[in-house]
Amino acid sequence: MLRALLLENVHPVAAQNLRDAGIEVVERSGALDENELIESLADVQILGIRSKTQVTRKVVENAPGLLAVGTFSIGTNQIDLAAAAAHGVAVFNAPYSNTRSVVELALAEIIALTRRLTVRDKALHDGVWDKTAEGAHEVRGRTLGIIGYGNIGSQLSVLAENLGMRVVFYDAAEKLALGNAHRVETLDELLAVADAVTIHVDGRPGNAGLFGADLFDRMKPGAIFLNLSRGFVVDVAALREHVLSGHLSGAAVDVFPTEPKKRGDGFASELRGLDNVILTPHVGGSTEEAQEAIGEFVSKKVRDYVQTGSTTLSVNLPNLQLEHTGVGRIMLLHRNVPGVLAAVNQVFADHGANIEAQMLATRGDLGYVVTDISDVTQRGASVKLQEMASTVRLRIRDAFERPEFPPGPAAG
């Protein structure tokens, strides 16, 4: 029976999905350090973690039975992806599961800042009846400038238009404009028209310091600014100056250049205490709905990988999905060197095996060939494949010969 170890309180739906697939699940609430992790992985094929557990090269090298790591988070920095790939360990994350949560927070903040809700709220809590329309606006008819039109940026675009906003966006890559959104060629074009500027770029190193004093200078007077992407993208001191000078009428920041390690820790920032500035502790994607969606998504990806060999959306292995034909399946991860496919098929030919279906994908140094074939273990071909110098990991799914791979719907 396959065994899964789920750490760091991943959503219960993950354990349920794995158990429903016949996988034994052990759950532990905390993270484990390197040595504890190695010890705990002795008889485990699937590891589930969130952001605290570090899956280092040493861990991967000392867990020969490990087949897949599911990171129940968006980021994968906590895993040595190259080491995992080199040892044939598939890694899956949840790239889209909290997109909607981030979008809803951004929308809430755009309305709150444009209406100066934070200022009115604070005054009333301080006992002051500050009833005025001054500086408060509807968002309808105002222009939202989105920098980074990926999963989050593009969904925000659709919902903002539904509120009656005009949307312009700037993206480094060619992106399809949704609805009536207008793509601009330069950041300057966007900054010249946007009443609200919101950043949703990814965390590539080149984005460090992307938004500094020169760009704040070019924003419209009275505009608002949001960053819910990565802390290092924005020059926080420059943002503070532009809020204090009144050039910006408000800002919302969810991500910071350095963030406290755990809940309850102290937080220092030059943005604290500023008028009409909303600060949130990196909770853009943190909703109960998102946690459940992440649990659902990642557990199904690792389940499908161990059961069928599907690597769809794996972040470190060649991506491949093959419909099951109902016969045995040979899943061969190999070094991406010339001639492997020909050699593999020669082995099958030598053993008189008839290939029902076959698919190959490569990614960098790795190749992955999945072949559906009858009776291959009895014919001895698997021994030959295992002996090939290019083989990284060979898995065989045969409902009769290899009971450790539970039968799937077609093979049962």
Reply yes or no on whether 230 is catalytic.
yes
SS (H, E, C) 148-176: CCCHHHHHHHHHHHHCCCEEEEECCCCCC
- CB-nearer residue toward ligand NAD: 150 or 407: 150
- CB-nearer residue toward ligand NAD: 70 or 367: 70
Stretch near ligand NAD under the rule CB under 6 A, chosen from 25-33, 116-124, 149-157, 362-370: 149-157
Pairing of strands 182-183, 166-170: parallel
Residue 206 beta carbon to ligand NAD: minimum distance, rounded to whole angstroms: 7
- CB-nearer residue toward ligand NAD: 167 or 210: 210
**207 lies in the site for ligand NAD, by CB under 6 A:** yes
**150 lies in the site for ligand NAD, by CB under 6 A:** yes
Annotated catalytic residue within 282, 335, 351, 402: 282
By CB under 6 A, what part of segment 278-307 binds ligand NAD?
282, 284-285
Q: What residues have CB less than 8 Å from 171, skipping those under 6 apart?
A: 147, 148, 149, 150, 153, 183
Residue 281 beta carbon to ligand NAD: minimum distance, rounded to whole angstroms: 10
Reply yes or no on whether 282 is catalytic.
yes
Helix 288-308 to helix 99-114 angle, to the nearest 10 degrees?
A: 160
**176 lies in the site for ligand NAD, by CB under 6 A:** no
**208 lies in the site for ligand NAD, by CB under 6 A:** no
**200 lies in the site for ligand NAD, by CB under 6 A:** yes
Query: What is the edge-to-edge ordering of all strands in the sheet holding 24-27?
Result: 24-27, 3-6, 46-49, 68-71, 90-92
**202 lies in the site for ligand NAD, by CB under 6 A:** yes
Of residues 367, 307, 397, 317, the one with CA closest to residue 89: 317
- CB-nearer residue toward ligand NAD: 125 or 261: 261
Q: CA 77, CA 69: separation in Å to the nearest integer? A: 13
Look at phi and psi of residue 280 and say left if phi exceeds 0, alpha if psi is from -120 to 50, else beta: beta
By CB under 6 A, what part of segment 73-112 binds ligand NAD?
74, 98-99, 102
Query: In a 10 Å sphere around its CB, with 0-12 CB exposed, 13-18 middle and 19+ buried, how is residue 196 labelled?
Result: buried
Annotated catalytic residue within 230, 324, 393, 397: 230
Q: CA 295, CA 297: separation in Å to the nearest integer? A: 6
Which residues sit at the interface with ligand NAD, rule CB under 6 A? 74, 98-99, 102, 147-153, 170-173, 175, 200-204, 207, 210, 228-230, 254-255, 282, 284-285
